[in-house]
């Protein structure tokens, strides 16, 4: 009888429910036969969210430079975030990134080849062309950031265009490819978005479609409201249904440096 009371749903399940209620424990109840596909889908959804919560407890975010000046929305109480959510948010100077770039220099050729294979690369960025150096510099930045994140066991990172130092360009392709690998990202020092994106990617692992950082601005209201993604440089390839296109462009805003970036013709919804 003890075994039956513990394992039979008519007794054990109800006793567990009573115990959880008595202890005021938050829980999610799924009822049904374990071979029922709907039950399996519901349990899988719960398990993915639970995994996201678990990853949140040890999420570590690296901030290269500070947040964008005069933009309060990208700031926040990092101590409270660690207390309530488990996120650890650490700031680093660009000198730390430069050292990581030097240490990972041997990875650059492999990254260049990967970009040429994965992207529809414009003629000016091809080997031997006038702007190929921009693609190489992008690969150097990517190698450095990845090396830094792996060494520090980081889950997410941020950059800001107002603090580039001696970086030859904005980290565009680097951010795209790192997001595709599962890292969270936030532009202009937005560590909250970076951590949230990482958790969403954990929850959606092996699911159809993808998740990406993007900053939206709604410019037109009314019957034909229009919404434009401003940070088109930093979009994860996981949300596209077509091969991304990489072109050479002048640097962002006041920067005159060339940068390699990409955009997509169609999203996966």
Q: Strand, coil or helix: what is 182? A: coil
**Higher pLDDT among residues 167 and 147, named by residue:** 147
Residue 48 forms part of a structural domain: yes
The span from the CA of 147 to the CA of 182, in Å, is 15
* Mean of pLDDT values over 162-176: 88
Residue 229 forms part of a structural domain: yes
The span from the CA of 139 to the CA of 2, in Å, is 63
Residues 185-217 pLDDT 10s: 999 999 999 999 999 999 999 888 889 998 766
Residue 30 forms part of a structural domain: no
- Cβ atoms of 197 and 185 within 8 Å: the answer is yes
Residue 206 forms part of a structural domain: yes
* Mean of pLDDT values over 22-45: 89
Q: What is the residue range of 58's domain?
A: 38-263
How many structural domains is the chain composed of?
A: 1
Which residue is listed with tokens 């424990």?
Answer: 25
**Higher pLDDT among residues 262 and 81, named by residue:** 81
Write down the pTM of the prediction: 0.83
- Cβ atoms of 151 and 96 within 8 Å: the answer is no
* Mean of pLDDT values over 28-45: 89
Residue 31 forms part of a structural domain: no
Q: Strand, coil or helix: what is 216? A: strand
Say whether pLDDT at 16 is over 80.
yes
Neighbouring C-beta atoms of residue 85, cutoff 10 Å: 16
Contacts of 210 (CB under 8 A, 6+ apart): 180, 204, 236, 237, 238, 239, 268
Backbone angles phi, psi at 140, to 5 degrees: -65, -45
Residue 147 forms part of a structural domain: yes
Residue 10 forms part of a structural domain: no
Order of all β-strands in the sheet with 120-121: 120-121, 245-249, 259-263
**Backbone Cα Rg of the chain:** 23
- Cβ atoms of 203 and 45 within 8 Å: the answer is no
- Strand 226-229 vs strand 216-220: parallel, antiparallel, or unpaired? antiparallel
What confidence tier does 251 reach under pLDDT thresholds 50, 70, 90?
Answer: very low
Residue 234 forms part of a structural domain: yes
Say whether pLDDT at 77 is over 90.
yes
The distance between the two most distant Cα atoms of the chain, rounded to a whole number of Å, is 81
């Amino acid at each position: 009888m003890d075994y039956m009371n513990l394992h039979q749903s008519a007794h054990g399940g109800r006793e567990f429910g009573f115990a959880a209620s008595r202890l005021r424990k938050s829980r999610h109840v799924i009822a049904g036969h374990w071979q029922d596909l709907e039950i399996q889908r519901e349990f899988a959804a719960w398990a993915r969210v639970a995994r996201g919560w678990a990853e949140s407890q040890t999420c570590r975010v690296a901030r290269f430079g500070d947040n964008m000046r005069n933009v309060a929305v990208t700031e926040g109480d990092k101590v409270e975030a660690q207390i309530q959510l488990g996120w650890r948010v650490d700031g680093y100077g660009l000198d730390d990134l430069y050292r990581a770039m030097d240490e990972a220099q041997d990875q650059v050729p492999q990254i260049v080849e990967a970009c040429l294979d994965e992207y529809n690369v414009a003629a000016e960025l091809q080997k031997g062309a006038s702007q190929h150096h921009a693609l190489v510099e992008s690969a150097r930045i990517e190698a450095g950031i990845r090396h830094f994140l792996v060494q520090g066991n980081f889950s997410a990172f941020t950059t800001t265009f107002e603090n580039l130092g001696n970086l030859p360009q904005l980290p565009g392709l680097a951010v795209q490819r790192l997001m595709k690998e599962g890292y969270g990202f936030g532009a202009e020092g937005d560590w909250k978005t970076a951590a949230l994106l990482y958790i969403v990617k954990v929850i959606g692992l092996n699911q159809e479609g993808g998740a990406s950082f993007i900053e939206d601005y709604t410019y037109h209201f009314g019957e034909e409201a229009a919404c434009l993604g401003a940070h088109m440089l930093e979009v994860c390839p996981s949300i596209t249904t077509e091969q991304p296109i990489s072109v050479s462009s002048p640097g962002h805003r006041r920067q005159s440096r060339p940068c390699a970036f990409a955009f997509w013709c169609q999203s996966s919804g």
